[in-house]
Structure 1
Amino acid sequence: MIDKPLSGRKAQAARNDKLILEAAKEVFVADPEAPIADVAKRAGVGISALYRRYPSKEDLLRKLCGDGLARYTELVREAVDAEGDPWEAFREFLRKVVVADTPSITVRLAGTFTPTPDMFAAATAADEFNRALLARVKDAGVLRGDVENGDLAMITESISSISLGDAERTRELRLRMLELYLEALRAPGAGPLPGSPASDDELGARWVPKTE
């Protein structure tokens, strides 16, 4: 079945929505406390057009973060289901996460809005896929046995903090750093890791909205 083209008004609304979300990512990743008016300005749309689509800043943040979480879940599910070399599936998954920059969209915005029950459910599903992926590469003997879910979160967050030069240069540097991390992640490892990985409670606490 061929989708019918959108009418002029609906097509414009769709274009505006794309511009708003792209602008929101740029604005709020740089400064989560920025006013929503900065998003409208960056997107080149009127504030009234933005509010018709997203009645509040929290609504916009939830949409932005929800989309990032959905993309991450899609990528980790693909890695779990991928055929062939488990290590290459794991490596490609992390590369795609770095390129998609999902940690910036999700973790950077944690605590700036109240998550919905649907978002908690989606995060739980993503976590289950994470654990399935880790189990797969460990069972294959290619991932060091003391690496846990919280370690991956810290690695991707660390990489997402790199910002140097333009977008292309930043992406190049992030992928380079990822390869260094991958070398450290491969079994058997040079020795036991110190301390303990970030726990579910520690990671989840960041999603509690901040209060004055």
Structure 2
Amino acid sequence: MTQAGRARQAERNNEAILTAAREVFLADKRAPISAVAERAGVGISALYRRYAGKEDLLRTLCHDGLQWFIAEAERAAAEPDDWAAFEMFVRGVVDADVHSLTVHLAGTFPPSPAMDADAARANELATALFERARPRMRAGAVPADITMLLEMCAAVRVPDAARTKELRRRYVTMLLDGLRAGGELPGLPPTVEELGWRWSRRD
């Protein structure tokens, strides 16, 4: 096999590993890394050539999700209508299923400095989109509410992937409509501690 062929094979193996890891760890975050290799159809040595261990693989999965989040926010930021931009962002993140794995795996590995930097960038972009849309929202809404809204949608899951996406789109529409200007929201918004408690524990 040529060097280019080996590179393509390695890339295919990596995609298979990441796809398998998402499926395995979403079902059971305590699953052994060998279960990922088996699901991906690669030898355990091929997996370890790419990832130093389970924590490294988990970190990669969550960082990939974070980068998807940033890409959706940057795409939405180009939309000139403020509410349309915000709605495009929320719907894009829900469709990309960014939060399911991230929330599920929070606290199972220490984030890297690169993840921390991207998390700050993601927060900056999401907050900017929120602030653009704020004049058309209910009184009392804050950016932290959007984190919870995304988590609610991520919690919707049935065995059929297409049906899961359909249901999530149904409920994100309800949630977005409920966020539009109207009466003041009840209760206090989530605190920083409430949003980040998962990342401070180690499972």
Q: TM-score, normalised by structure 1?
A: 0.90
**Does the CA contact (< 8 Å) of 1:76 and 1:126 recur in 2?**
yes
What corresponds to 2:192 in structure 1?
200
CA RMSD of aligned residues (A): 1.6
Partner amino acid, structure 1, of 2:46:
A
In structure 1, what is the Cα distance between the partners aligned to 2:4 and 2:13? 14
Q: Closer, same or farther in 2 for the Cα pair 1:77/1:6, shift >3 Å?
A: farther
Specify the SS of the correspondent of 1:206.
helix
What corresponds to 2:108 in structure 1?
112
**Does the CA contact (< 8 Å) of 1:160 and 1:174 recur in 2?**
yes
Percentage identity across paired residues of the two chains: 50
Specify the SS of the correspondent of 1:39.
helix
In structure 2, what is the Cα distance between the partners aligned to 1:192 and 1:142? 12
**Does the CA contact (< 8 Å) of 2:82 and 2:132 recur in 1?**
yes
In structure 2, what is the Cα distance between the partners aligned to 1:6 and 1:86? 49
In structure 2, what is the Cα distance between the partners aligned to 1:122 and 1:209? 21
Partner amino acid, structure 2, of 1:210:
R
Q: Closer, same or farther in 2 for the Cα pair 1:6/1:146, shift >3 Å?
A: farther
Shift in Å, 1:130: 1.4
Determine which of 136, 160, 165 is the counterpart of 1:166: 160
Determine which of 7, 12, 15 is the counterpart of 2:9: 12
Gapped regions of structure 2 (runs ≥ 5) = none
Gapped regions of structure 1 (runs ≥ 5) = none
In structure 2, what is the Cα distance between the partners aligned to 1:119 and 1:145? 33
Determine which of 60, 74, 85 is the counterpart of 1:63: 60
What corresponds to 1:136 in structure 2?
132
Shift in Å, 1:27: 0.9
Counterparts of 1:31-180 in structure 2 under 5 Å?
A: 31-79=28-76, 81-138=77-134, 141-180=135-174
Q: TM-score, normalised by structure 2?
A: 0.94
Shift in Å, 1:209: 4.2
The 4+ residue runs of structure 1 with deviation greater than 4 A are: none
In structure 1, what is the Cα distance between the partners aligned to 2:187 and 2:142? 12
In structure 2, what is the Cα distance between the partners aligned to 1:149 and 1:38? 38
In structure 2, what is the Cα distance between the partners aligned to 1:121 and 1:145? 31
Shift in Å, 1:6: 6.8
In structure 2, what is the Cα distance between the partners aligned to 1:94 and 1:76? 8
> 1:52-105 deviations in whole A, cap 9, x for unaligned?
1011000000100001001101111222x3233211121111111111100012
**Does the CA contact (< 8 Å) of 1:76 and 1:130 recur in 2?**
yes
> 1:155-177 deviations in whole A, cap 9, x for unaligned?
11111111124100110000000
Shift in Å, 1:142: 1.7
**Does the CA contact (< 8 Å) of 2:97 and 2:154 recur in 1?**
yes
Partner amino acid, structure 2, of 1:124:
A
Q: Closer, same or farther in 2 for the Cα pair 1:144/1:24, shift >3 Å?
A: same
| Higher fraction of helix | 2
